[in-house]
Chains A and B, each alone.
Chain A
Amino acid sequence: MTETPRPRTLVEKIWDDHVVRQEEGAPAILAIDLHLVHEVTSPQAFTGLRARGLPVRHPERTVATEDHSIPTLPRTGRDLPTVDSQAAFQVAQLERNCRDFGIPLHGVGSDTQGIVHVIGPELGLSQPGMTIVCGDSHTATHGAVGALAFGIGTSEVEMVLATQCLLQRRPKTYEVRVDGRLAPGVSAKDIILALIARIGVGGGTGHVFEYTGEAIRALGMEQRMTICNMSIEGGARAGLVAPDDTTFEYLRGRRHAPQGAAWDAAVERWRTLPSDPGAVYDRSITLDASALEPMVTYGTNPGMGIGIGGHIPDPSAAPDEAGRRALEKALGYMDLRPGEPIAGRKVDVVFIGSCTNSRIGDLRQAAALLRGRHVAAGTRLLVVPGSQQVKAQAEREGLDEVFRAAGGEWRESGCSMCIAMNGDQLEPGEYAVSTSNRNFEGRQGTGGRTFLASPLTAAASAIAGVVADPRPLVDRDPAVVGGR
């Protein structure tokens, strides 16, 4: 008698595919297909490996880049204008570790250097059905191709270097269904900010998000990456989208994607990955994309977000004491008053970059609004492409000229002002509209204040010099930006 197999979700399929061993009561030993490494969270792991006298088990499943602590100032010659000797040492350390352990490095000076979560998909390394890890919480980005991708700590980096495996418990699943279609001027960033505003920064703890629904299907790969990227901001360690023709078209022909007959076989395998009809998720939520407006955060965590037409909430209306205190503290830090509109707040810096929104599509959207316009007096615009490949593509399209003509700065690729440990940072008290993913206190520089938003909202705000709704600009020129 043959049993009908139990319908499984995408996450369960990838999980089952990678369990090396499951002992009673213990976490599973889970095989890892791809391990991404960067300079900040890896040095102590390599030190541990050396102390144990172990090699890297699979250097050919490991890949490294430099992104967090490198400057984005113009690079002339070999001398990197790092912010201090400690950062320089960290970069040199990664180069040495890669050399000693045989790990390929897409480092500074290479035409494939970039933010770790930008180059993985870009090089075709991140593929459907894989397990992907990195010592970085935004590893969820790679989930956009239909991979189970999640951030790990440095001890786990050492574990993966040594064994190409991790000890993991099976995560719970959380379907995030986004129905409807986005209006022009509203984009993927607004979907994810709206989700987090709804469920809170701890809402997805213990779960993996699977993003489904018409609005997600309609998105291109880069926008799916924007959404998966911020899964961690909703508390989920991973977030993914089932692979489909959009995924395959994106990956086809990329440097590390399968070629020829292997490609056909891979696509056939990938087509079996989407969740089966009737598969059950542990939790689920539904959003309506057509009801969304551009989102902006006003507070000091990514869950503190409102529509651009909204007003700063009143702490006294918070549902509980902890919430009231948190909101009061956040508004104190941001120097905002309950009831005031978010639109129209003065902006000192606009930052377009980070692994959330620094890909070519993001830059095209921002450039579409900035073309023929100028950044407001007193506002600084910093545009930082996510990788050297993005940078080269943007320059081929003349986007760098658009940003410069508008009065913006055009930089080398890196994490830049997303993390402010590399020389790019806000001054105390300054306000930024930022396309990055975290508005935590001091994240973009000690005392700096962050409004998270989409590239369209960022561009519109740069032009206005205040937090601004991009839709009037998009409406005036609907040909340039589909909003999707």
Chain B
Amino acid sequence: MPEPVAPFTSRVIPLPAENVDTDQIIPARFLKTTEKSGLAEGLFYNWRYLPDGTPRPDFVLNRPEMAGRAVLLGGPNFGPGSSREHAPWALLAWGIRAVISTGFADIFRQNALKNGLLPIAVPTERHAALFELVAADPDVELTVDLAAQSVRVLPSRPGVAAAAAVGETFPFEIDPFARQMLLEGTDEIGYVLGRLPAIETWEAAHPARVNTLA
């Protein structure tokens, strides 16, 4: 049973790259696992480590102050490419609980929602303003509230949020059904199995198109 998603507060990891594809989030060689766990080490592996395995000092996740942060502020169009659910698994395993971008690739967004990783899409201007805010106040905290569909901005110094024109709180859109499932911790497979009679009726009226066993 998934855990209900409660509000949380975190500082922000800025990663301005555009079109961060799922091959970057978790390179293919980590896909040989048959488990969901243990993927934190592979997260952004090729960006995090030099070929000899030592950390790249200039990559944001390697900065000591990033440890424990749960909000990733990503560049535009986050998560295109492969359908690998290992991408949200790896982000969650590292500790990320929400990604903010201008938009998300369809499969990534769905995969994220199935795992309680919140894909928060904001308009381009606010997205740019958030990067400005984090640059001006690297310790700014955000409270992400799924029930209220809002993000509250908690600057570490007065005035910076207003200067960046982000506002005190801002709303975000999220699929209302996915939101409900996440707030209640409802299991989607259980939800569909609860409607088995409808499936049986449909199947009775629609003969199978193929028999793969034939």
Chain A residues close to B by CB (< 8 Å): 20-21, 25-27, 29, 31, 33-34, 40-41, 43-44, 47, 52, 58-63, 68-69, 84, 86-87, 89-90, 93, 102-104, 125, 127, 129-130, 135-137, 151-156, 158-159, 162-165, 167, 169, 201-202, 205-206, 232, 235, 237, 256, 301, 322-323, 325-326, 329, 419-421, 428, 438, 440-443, 446-447
Contact = CB atoms under 8 A, between A and B. Distances in A.
Interface stretch (B11-19, B140-148, B153-161): B11-19
B212 A62 contact: yes
B9 interface: no
Given A52-B189, A322-B76, A136 B83 contact: yes
Contacts of B203: 31, 164
Contact of A153 (B34, B103, B114, B198): B114
14 contacts: A34-B210, A40-B31, A41-B85, A44-B34, A44-B35, A44-B85, A130-B210, A137-B82, A153-B84, A156-B114, A202-B103, A232-B107, A237-B106, A329-B17
B103 to A, nearest CB: 6
Given A41-B85, A159-B188, A86 B105 contact: no
Given A137-B82, A325-B16, A438-B81, A205 B32 contact: no
B150 interface: no
B54 interface: no
A29 B19 contact: no
Interface in B63-104: 75-77, 80-85, 103-104
Contacts, number: 205
Given A40-B32, A154-B85, 12 more contacts: A29-B192, A33-B210, A43-B35, A61-B208, A90-B33, A137-B81, A152-B83, A153-B107, A155-B111, A201-B19, A256-B214, A326-B19
Contacts of B176: 25
B175 A169 contact: yes
Interface in B185-214: 188-189, 191-193, 195, 198-199, 202-203, 206, 208-214
A125 B212 contact: yes
A443 B23 contact: yes
Contacts of B209: 33-34, 61, 127, 129-130
Contact of B23 (A31, A153, A169, A442): A442
Contact of A202 (B28, B105, B115, B202): B105
A84 B32 contact: yes
Contact of B110 (A68, A84, A156, A329): A156
Contact of B202 (A31, A61, A154, A169): A31
Contacts of A43: 34-35
Interface string B4-46: 0000000000001111010110011101111110000000001
Contacts of B32: 40, 69, 84, 86-87, 89-90, 421
B189 to A, nearest CB: 5
Given A156-B114, A438-B81, A29 B34 contact: no
Interface residues of B, number: 57
A380 B19 CA distance: 31
A316 to B, nearest CB: 16
Contacts of A325: 16-18
B93 to A, nearest CB: 13
B211 to A, nearest CB: 5
Contacts of B214: 256
B76 A421 contact: no
A137 B51 CA distance: 28
A185 B183 CA distance: 55
Contacts of A34: 209-210, 212
A122 to B, nearest CB: 13
A61 B203 CA distance: 12
Contact of B83 (A62, A137, A235, A419): A137
Given A25-B176, A104-B213, A201-B80, A421 B29 contact: yes
Nearest to B108: A153
A418 to B, nearest CB: 9
What 4 pairs across the A-B complex have the smallest Cβ distances?
A: A43-B34, A153-B111, A153-B85, A202-B77
Given A156-B110, A326-B19, A438-B23, A61 B34 contact: no
